[in-house]
Amino acid sequence: MERIIIVAHGSPMKEANNLQSFATLIHKMIHPECKENCVKIAYLQFCKPSLADVIKEFAKEGATKIIIHPFFLGYGVHVTKDIPSEIERGKELYPNVEFIYTEPLGVHEKLAEIVWERIQSAAGMNPQAIEKRSFEIISEGINLDDKPAEQISIIKRVIHATADFEFAHSLIFHPQAIKNALIAIKEGKDILVDVEMVKVGILSNHLKRWGGKVLCYINDPEVEELSEKSGKTKAELAIEKSFRENSNIGILAIGNSPTALLKGIELVNKLEEEKKKNMVIIGLPVGFVKALESKIFLSSQPFPFITNLSRKGGSPATVAVINALIKICSEEVLYEN
């Protein structure tokens, strides 16, 4: 049984000794599914628990290997004498335990990157610079060379919005989805969404240049009244109402409600063939009930769609897809001019 101790100096200031969250982060990185407390912080001065206390605790729990990391930058007295002395005492007290002592943090390129990020943050990076650096980090963190060029900016923007690299692998695109969505935006088609959170996140001011609007009917009084009477969700009733009353919908974007996505699929399949093949559904609802199932169903449809095969998703991811499409249109206009 392996256990890890991260040894810090300790401070007379109580609030400076709160490193357990760092230990929890390390634990999740190396033992993502583990429910035990395998990584603990120990302090040399001013604070408990001491290194000797944590060694004793882990040994009593039955640890056969204890890895000790000095949370120090260099090889000072604590790293070269104090901690090794405690380790030697531990070996004498617990001869059946293997002790491994790591190097301190030292000079490492990752630390240099962190220092540079702190400097930039203190200097007050503007939003554009922060976004630029965020996308650089995304590009450094994942290889998208196997993805079609037209998908890459969309995937990156979803990762940026969610801080979740999983979307690089879970997002799927119907072959005509991006092309049709760009055409819909440029032709001034409206974007219908399921919830207000999606509506407010979309770059509607950019959308106006082509004449399109963002529609959301979920708070419509008629929808609320029908929901109480019928037992259906407001989201699915809002989609029904919008399809009845608006013939200019080009994109249906669902970020929250699986029932709205299922209703949208049903209604799109009832459209005339020409309208059906031009409609695009962006379906990324999040949750444990029907979310994944609705997206799997969407992925089997003949009309254009963008979705992800995962329980993850939500309004930020959906907004990111739409805004990426709007930005592509805007960049194309600038290029043409």
Q: How far is CA 220 from the centre of its chain?
A: 31
204 in Cβ contact with 214 (< 8 Å): yes
- Catalytic positions, written as ranges: 160
Terminal CA-CA length for the chain: 66
User: Which pairs count as long-range contacts for 10-13, CB under 8 Å and 24+ apart, including other chains?
Assistant: 10/43, 10/44, 10/45, 10/46, 10/47, 11/46, 11/47, 12/46
Q: What one-character-per-residue DSSP string does 185-249 give?
A: HHTT-EEEESSHHHHHHS-HHHHGGGT--EE--TT-HHHHHHHHHH---HHHHHHHHHHHH-S-E
Pairing state of beta strands 305-308 and 171-173? Answer: antiparallel
276 in Cβ contact with 303 (< 8 Å): yes
- Burial of residue 239 (CB within 10 Å: 0-12, 13-18, 19+) is buried
Handedness of CA 216, 317, 135, 121 (dihedral sign): positive
d(CA 304, CA 191) in angstroms, rounded, equals 15
Distances (CA, A) of 31 to 4, 22, 43, 204: 11, 14, 23, 44
